[in-house]
Structure 1
Amino acid sequence: MSDEMQKKYVEFQVLQQQLQQLYQQIQQIDTQLTELNNVVVSLDDFKLLKKGSEMLVPLASGIFAYAELKQAEMVRVNVGSNVSVKKSIGDTVNLVKAQIKELDDYKTKLVANFTHVNEYVHMLQHELIKQSKKEETEQKAEE
């Protein structure tokens, strides 16, 4: 195997790993987008509740407590560093929708990058196959 072909093969392997990482990032973003869209649906449903409504509140995975809703117009939103602020349902929905847009824009860039790298990998793979056949033919001619 020639030095040039070895370099291309190493590059091919590195790019294959990069494609795998990009794919995993895209999947993680899809999961986050699904969760955020579910939050918007939940907030829209929450708007329909009235003060004093009984509800189940999750304490841990699969564990719920009965609770009475004391305020139906506002929620507390975590803003980081264990700090939360009061926000209206509408403001919270807008905040989540902004996060969805941000993630969606980032996903679009990742998909474009994935497509670009994938096209280059296919081209590189074609070159490796072509070069391998050429070297094989040359080796047979020498025999």
Structure 2
Amino acid sequence: MKAGGNGAAQLTKFGGWNHAHPGNSGPSPDDVFLLIENLSQPDLVSTGATAIKYYRDSASITVVTSQGNYVVTVKDWGKLQAAYERFSDDPGGFDDEYRDFAGIYLQQYATANGSASIYALSQLLGASINVYREDRNLNGGSYYPVKNTGMLITPLNCQ
């Protein structure tokens, strides 16, 4: 399925979500929090505990950019829920914090917007999520996990 127009998220055939980021930024907290918000969807809730467990075990968000794509999965639902509650209490403040972290990264490394957004996301949600990146210029276009190593976002060597 292609990404939704105007950045609109679309449900994929397998229960994940995808949408485009034309500015090539990586996933934002707003993107990731769709995973939490979907848990209260009536269609999911009405199907029962088995379906909810399946959703929790396989949910993902995909962000499509011209430089490469990102996939986020949940590592710890409890920590993600706690971050979502903090976000819900002050969405503007949470988003400001995200932008501030990205700005710090850009000042330090003057690098791609995608790396700055992944750094910011890892500062706010790193203990609760896994992030994978497909870089069309590296690794033959395959996906690799990314890791925040201090200030630098690097591919995680899985070999």
TM range (shorter): under 0.3
Structure showing greater relative contact order (alpha-carbon pairs closer than 8 Å, 6 or more residues apart): 1
Query: Of Structure 1 and Structure 2, which has the larger fraction of its residues in strand?
Result: 2
- Give the TM-score taking structure 1 as reference length: 0.27
Query: Of Structure 1 and Structure 2, which has the larger fraction of its residues in helix?
Result: 1
- Give the TM-score taking structure 2 as reference length: 0.25
